[in-house]
Amino acid sequence: MNVIESHIKGVLIFEPKVFGDGRGFFMETWSRGRYKNAGLDVEFVQDNVSSSSQGVLRGLHYQNPQPQGKLVQVLQGEVLDVAVDIRVGSPTFGKVATCLLSDENRRQFYVPAGFAHGFCVLSETALFLYKCTAFYNAETEGGLLWNDPDLGIDWPAAEPNLSKKDANAPRLKDIPKENLPLYTV
């Protein structure tokens, strides 16, 4: 497995080994010991799958308290995946890391707890898998405005298909610091 470190500490891209032939392919998507040896020592407690059509943008979402780390991958299609460091006190607060995920490159993107997360679907449809380090809790969910100019995210869709909640999310600078996760070393 190849591991690529992003410019934000803890945000990782994994390229699992894929074994293929004329019949198809095999790929191991999670093995606790192997990923721990590669620098990802977390416990996942919940898996989620979403299906979306082209132009759908989901995010930018986070939970606080009880932030979720997420190991995400695309099972079918292609998305631009985005992680934003929103941990108060972090040296990379407000910084963005992105990764193109597809069923062709078979990459996985690790978004640490304390980050906001979102993605935009580039293909006709996308089937998206999340492995989460904390259970989802609607009462602790928050969001950032997808096109917050302070973040400078280069989304591939000028007018994405958004939920009402995502379209009306606040800018990062307008969220009280006490509502955001804290940076811990």
- Just list the catalytic residues: 61, 130
- Name the residue type at position 44: F
Which of 19, 8, 13, 73 lies closest to 39 in space, CA to CA? 13
**Cis ω on the peptide bond leading into residue 57 (within 30° of 0)?**
no
Determine how many CB atoms are found less than 10 A away from the CB of residue 169: 23
Give strand pairing partners of 62: 142
CA atoms within 13 A on the CB side of 62: 27
Residue 148 structure tokens:
């917050």
**Tokens (6 digits) for 117:** 């997360």
- Written as six digits, the tokens of 99 are 């990764």
φ and ψ at residue 140, rounded to 5 degrees: -110, 10
Pairing outcome for strands 46-53 and 57-63: unpaired
